[in-house]
Structures are given as structure tokens and as C-alpha cells.
Amino acid sequence: MARAPGDEEALAVAFAAHERWAFSRAYREYASLLYSVAYNVLHNGEDAQDCVADAIARVWRSPSAYSSERGSVRSFLVVCVRNEAISRQRSQNRRARLEERLAAMPVEHQELEAGDPIERDRVRSAFAKLPQDQRAALQLAFYDGKTHTEIAAELNAPLGTIKSRISLGLRKIAAILGSEGGDR
């Protein structure tokens, strides 16, 4: 639908004046274009919809964000949505890299080995009482020095499962050693 040049000017003036009808009309007219811009950066429909909504809301909260010197309302909104999408993508990438680094870091636990031969036997006895899946994860973590990510790959199990097995195994060993130590 072709619009008269006066329509675009009226929309730009009203948009710059922060009139609600202008935002509503601009959104209706450009929503599919703005969605496409966001989707091309984010490659996810839900994220693209959120991105458009957030960009429009940000412009609405900033009354002086748009002026006619910045170009047409259409171009201004495209740039706003594109910038929002790029910011989201960078944030997601940073978060993913941080999660990968955290997952690859070995979790520091107290050493299972004890210097005292009697304590060492108690630890080995407690270790032997664990279920095989917990024993295997703890063996790889403490005796072989592997990271949780490496253990997950070796045991072909999800990372969260490996972390749970190690945590649960350590708690069981502590409980066994604590109950045996209370007899002394």
C-alpha cells in the first residue's frame, strides 16, 4: 500500500512528538519488517518477537530517541531493532562461552585420599559402598583429575547428571565417615 508523502511526514512528526497513535501505527505497519530484521540476526522466532517488543518499548521510554533528522521512522526502527538483536546475540554468545568455561573447570573438592593408613582404609571402604555410577564419576574426578565435562563425555552422560553423581557420592562418603567416626 503506497502512502502519500504527507502521511510519512505526519507519522514522523507524531512519532517525534511521542504520540501514542504514531507508535501504534508504526508498529502495525513495520512489525513484519522489524521481525525479519531481528530473526535474521537471532535465528529464533521467539527471541525475534521479544527483541522487537523490547526495542519498541525502549524507544517509547525514551521520548527524545527519534527526531526527523535521524531519517524515516521506518529506518530508525529498523536500526533500533537490529542493534537490540545484535546486543542480544552478543550477550547470548558471552553467556554460552562462560557456561562452557565453567563446565570445563574442575570442581575443587576435598581429597578423598587420607595420609593416615587407617583413614585411607575408611575412605576406601566408604568409597566401595557407593553405587557404581557414583564411584565411576568420583574415580574419574579425583583419581584421574578429569573435569566434569570430560567425565560426562567419557561416561556418555549429561553434564548435570555427572555433577549430581559426584555431589551425591561425596555426601554419602561424608555421611559414612561421619557415622563411623562417631563410634571412636
CB 78 within 8 A of CB 34: yes
Residue with cell 563410634: 183
Can you give the residue ranges of every domain in the chain? 5-102, 117-181
Domain 117-181 belongs in CATH node 1.10.10.10? yes
The architecture in CATH of the region 5-102 reads Orthogonal Bundle (1.10)
Give dist(CA 23, CA 41) in Å, integer: 23
Q: What's the pLDDT tens digit per position in 74-115?
A: 999 999 999 999 999 998 888 888 777 777 766 554 444 456
pLDDT digits (tens, 9 = 90+) for 145-162: 888 888 998 999 888 899
**Structure pTM?**
0.54
d(CA 166, CA 131): 11
The separation between CA 152 and the C-alpha centre of its own chain, rounded to angstroms, equals 20
Short-list 12, 77, 76, CA closest to 3: 12
Opening angle at CA 18, ends 15 and 22, nearest 5: 45
